Amino acid sequence: MTPTEIVEHFIDAWNQMDWDRVMSLMSEDVVYHNIPMEKLEGKAAAEAFIRGMQADAVDWVTLNIAANGNVVLTERLDKFKMSSGKDVAVPVMGTFEIRDQKIIAWRDYFDLNTFVSQMA
């Protein structure tokens, strides 16, 4: 698979809420950073965060995707139906670095206030 295909499979796994498949696409030493939040290092830390989100539904809409070698950039609208009943939609710019068919670094850039205000 190309780096772009790996990221597209990753996004599809999120939309299916297939957390096992999401995790299978990340390296053991992945670095996951939601830029306004604390950086997470390692697959176990990323998995704990992802599985702890408590979303009832996920719909990541890819607006644009581009690759340069092993780096894939995404412009997305990440939509979540939270278990609290809240609907959240956040514009996100994502950067994924791929090595040996796995995501080794994942950085999402978004406005935390946009997320928090929708959760209120």
Residue 110 dihedral angles phi and psi, to the nearest 5°: -155, 165
Domains of the chain are 3-119 (3.10.450.50)
Residues serving a catalytic function are 78, 108
pLDDT, mean of residues 8-24: 97
Query: CA 67 from chain center: how many Å?
Result: 16
- The pTM assigned to this predicted structure is 0.93
Q: What is the mean pLDDT of the chain?
A: 95
- 51-58 long-range Cβ contacts below 8 angstroms, 24+ apart: 51/19, 53/80, 54/82, 54/83, 54/84, 55/17, 55/80, 55/81, 55/82, 55/83, 56/81, 56/82, 56/83, 57/17, 57/81, 58/14, 58/15, 58/17
pLDDT digits (tens, 9 = 90+) for 93-112: 999 999 999 999 999 999 98
